[in-house]
Amino acid sequence: MTTPTRAPVPFRLHVPDDDLVDLHERLARTRFPETPPGEPWATGTDTAFLREAIAHWKDRFDWRAQEARLNAFPQFTVPISGIDLHFLHVPGVRAPGAPEPMPLLLSHGWPGSVLEFLDLIPRLTDPARFGGDPADAFTVVAPSLPGYTLSYRPGQPRFALPDIARTFHELMTEVLGYPRYGAQGGDWGSFVTAVLGAEHADAVLGIHLNMMPVRRDAQTVATPTPEEKRWLDELALFLKEETGYQWIQGTRPHTLGAALNDSPAGLAAWLFEKFQRWTDNRGDPRDALSMDTMLADIALYWFTGAIGSSFWPYYARMHGPWPIRDGGVGAPCGYAAFPREILRPPRSVCERAFTDIRRWTEMPRGGHFAALEQPEALAHEIVEFFRPLRGAR
């Protein structure tokens, strides 16, 4: 560990009571849309579900309990890259005679937040508590992405994915003093993690992903194998049916942000659709996640006013080059392939960008929000991937 260059400031979240009152009043005035023809969820968030969810949010959801869950973890902010970056920094439990826990950077995505990691982090920092080997402990650093929830303030600079990767690398090496560390991520966090594995392979011991950030270009597979054909069919359906949100968030983010920043019901509908489409469920997102779990994430976006700025990586991505070049990610890589992930490219496609894939696990269940849906299984995969890399420190 090297000498840190600046001192982070302890942080504790407390939403003002007036904001809770304002939210309750807005929820009480919700104007619900009609129920459209066709199957529930086929054209967006089901109206009957939304009515239940808004009633639960207004009358039964306990924000202070969710706030307390987050505040049970050590949190900090630090000025970096022109913003005040929020992050969790949870020391690993060191067993007698064991080496120092490995530093591990966790990166979330959209529409996620650090709340995704609250059940995962203890399994990584104190594996013995869950029946694991204490020598597998990590010290976890989990930042809120710049522009997202607790790393957002009005008027601050916007960040593309490479900017986020540089900021996180600076946080790990210069602010916290970890010259070598592991990195893990999903969604945008998988892109950030991959960029770290490409640009800072000297410092990054290895990268673990639960989404593979590969180019969505059918021309990259000239004569597909059966598995590649399955991937191309999935990709074609995704591009036709599931990318509307990307186009509006990537071209006119401010217009959409204005609407969702003013309506908690609208914000909830926008995010509930992703929880329904992207989790391993049987038609209802509550098959995979509790209502309170989903509402905690939605409420954090609401209280911080960060939904519009959270769209910026889509805008930057759509107006810039693909951030991960073929053959560019040389750090050792592990991948947990959850069956209900948004896209599931085959290994042959992924190996074009990731040149050192050392672990590839087909997971039995789970979807895009792996840390929320399957924290035990994801923790196991992270531990197993990084175990042989610990000696490289």
Active site residues: 187, 314, 368
- State which H helix or E strand residue 194 sits in: helix 188-199
8 Å CB contact between 90 and 185:
no
Kindly state the greatest CA–CA separation across the chain.
64
What is the separation, in whole angstroms, between the first and last Cα of the chain? 10
SS3 of residue 384 by DSSP:
helix
* Secondary structure element (H or E) that encloses residue 191, with its range: helix 188-199
Q: Which residues contact 391 (CB under 8 A, 6 or more apart)?
A: none
Are the C-beta atoms of residues 278 and 368 closer than 8 Å to each other?
Answer: yes
Dihedral, CA of residue 52, residue 58, residue 60 and residue 65, to nearest 10: 130
What are the DSSP E strand ranges found in the chain?
Answer: 9-11, 75-80, 83-90, 102-107, 138-143, 181-185, 204-209, 333-337, 357-362
How far apart CA 225 and CA 231 sit, in angstroms, is 10
Contact 371, 117 (CB under 8 A): yes
